[in-house]
């Protein structure tokens, strides 16, 4: 985008649309760097915790706080995408260029506008609140409380709502991209992915809320560890199932839809498959 700026300037035409378009790419450029940094701090903290135990949590609280800070900054880089999602109908009306083929306004509004806005306004405040509790060495119950709230926010808005809105965008008829609209649900693979997301992921999210509710109320000792393990395992299996469906469907080249683009090549959350392992560990530990 930097090297071909003159080309994009000619395509996008209007200066306000050029600025909106370029700033909307922060999430997949600067934002990804923030998330990498967050991942490094998080991984380091986990390694120290596993090696030396809970007694060292106070010594790595700064690193954990840094991980949460950079994750929050990563999400904030999607703020320009929210703006783009809400002003895109105006750009489409003026026949301004936005990728090729140009998507219907409803798709951009749902995926970039509504979904990103929901993630920012719900997850970022909980992330920063959790960070403040950790770096200020709040009580264990307070940290667990805000960890639970943050986890629920991620499940409900970064995953269930985000992916459900992507499916809603997939059901929009877009013939230039061979997106058939609601008829795609006649496909067994597609309907499995649709129901697994809209209903299955919602069930996982509500189950997590039910299991962690005692922790949210300040009574973490009442959390059923085995049930929490099943929720975490189911969450990891969801991503495994989606990747299997993606492969069976032939990938994005076979079904160039909004859903296939998000769940496959452009998904920054495929690492969530790894939740299978801590889920199994919690189940085994609770039964031992």
The tens digit of pLDDT for each residue in 218-241 reads 999 999 999 999 999 999 999 999
Q: What is the pLDDT of residue 27?
A: 87
- Give the global pTM: 0.93
Pinpoint the alpha helices (H) of 249-275. Answer: 251-254, 258-263
pLDDT digit string, tens, across residues 117-159: 999 999 999 999 999 999 999 999 999 999 999 999 999 999 9
3-state secondary structure of 275: helix
Q: What is the pLDDT of residue 288?
A: 65
Mean pLDDT computed over every residue of the chain: 93
Which residues, 6 or more positions from 57, have their beta carbon under 8 angstroms from its beta carbon? 49, 64
Q: 175 or 265: whose pLDDT is higher?
A: 175
Question: Residue 277: which pLDDT band, with cuts at 50, 70 and 90?
Answer: very high
Question: Residue 15: which pLDDT band, with cuts at 50, 70 and 90?
Answer: very high
Question: Residue 113: which pLDDT band, with cuts at 50, 70 and 90?
Answer: very high
Q: What is the pLDDT of residue 136?
A: 93
Whether residue 247 is predicted with pLDDT greater than 70 in this model: the reply is yes
- CA–CA separation, 33 and 245 (whole Å): 29
Q: What is the pLDDT of residue 147?
A: 96
* Rounded average pLDDT over 153-173: 97
- CA–CA separation, 102 and 219 (whole Å): 51
Whether residue 94 is predicted with pLDDT greater than 80 in this model: the reply is yes
Domain residue extents for the chain: 1-138, 155-288
| CA nearest to 170, candidates 260, 85, 269 | 260
Whether residue 265 is predicted with pLDDT greater than 80 in this model: the reply is no
Whether residue 212 is predicted with pLDDT greater than 90 in this model: the reply is yes
- For residue 174, the cross-strand partners are 179
Q: What is the pLDDT of residue 123?
A: 97
Q: What is the pLDDT of residue 105?
A: 94
3-state secondary structure of 103: coil
Q: What is the pLDDT of residue 47?
A: 92
The DSSP code for 101 is: S
Percentage with pLDDT > 70 across the chain:
100
pLDDT digit string, tens, across residues 25-67: 998 889 999 999 999 999 999 999 888 888 788 889 999 999 9
Whether residue 261 is predicted with pLDDT greater than 80 in this model: the reply is yes
Q: What is the pLDDT of residue 164?
A: 98
- Helix and strand counts by DSSP (H, E) for the chain: 15, 0
């Amino acid at each position: 985008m930097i090297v071909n700026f003159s080309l994009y300037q000619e395509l996008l035409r209007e200066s306000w649309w050029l600025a909106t378009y370029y700033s909307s790419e922060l999430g997949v450029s600067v934002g990804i760097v923030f998330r990498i940094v967050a991942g490094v701090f998080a991984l380091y903290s986990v390694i120290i915790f596993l090696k030396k135990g809970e007694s060292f949590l106070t010594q790595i609280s700064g690193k954990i706080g840094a991980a949460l800070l950079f994750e929050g900054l990563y999400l904030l880089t999607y703020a320009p995408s929210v703006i783009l999602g809400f002003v895109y109908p105006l750009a489409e009306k003026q026949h301004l260029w936005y990728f090729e083929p140009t998507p219907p306004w409803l798709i951009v509004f749902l995926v970039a506008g509504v979904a990103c806005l929901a993630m920012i306004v719900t997850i970022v405040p909980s992330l920063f609140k959790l960070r403040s509790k950790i770096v200020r060495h709040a009580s264990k119950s307070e940290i667990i409380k805000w960890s639970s709230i943050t986890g629920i926010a991620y499940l409900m808005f970064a995953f269930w709502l985000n992916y459900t809105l992507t499916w809603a965008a997939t059901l929009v008829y877009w013939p230039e991209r061979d997106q058939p609209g609601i008829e795609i649900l006649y496909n067994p693979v597609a309907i499995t992915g649709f129901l697994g997301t809209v209903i299955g992921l919602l069930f996982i999210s509500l189950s997590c809320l039910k299991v962690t509710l005692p922790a949210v109320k300040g009574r973490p000792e009442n959390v059923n560890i085995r049930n929490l393990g099943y929720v975490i395992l189911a969450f990891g299996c969801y991503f495994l199932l989606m990747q299997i469906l993606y492969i069976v469907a032939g990938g994005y080249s076979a079904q160039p839809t909004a859903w296939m683009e998000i769940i496959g090549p452009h998904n920054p959350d495929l690492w969530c498959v790894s939740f299978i392992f801590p889920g199994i560990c919690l189940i085994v530990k609770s039964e031992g």
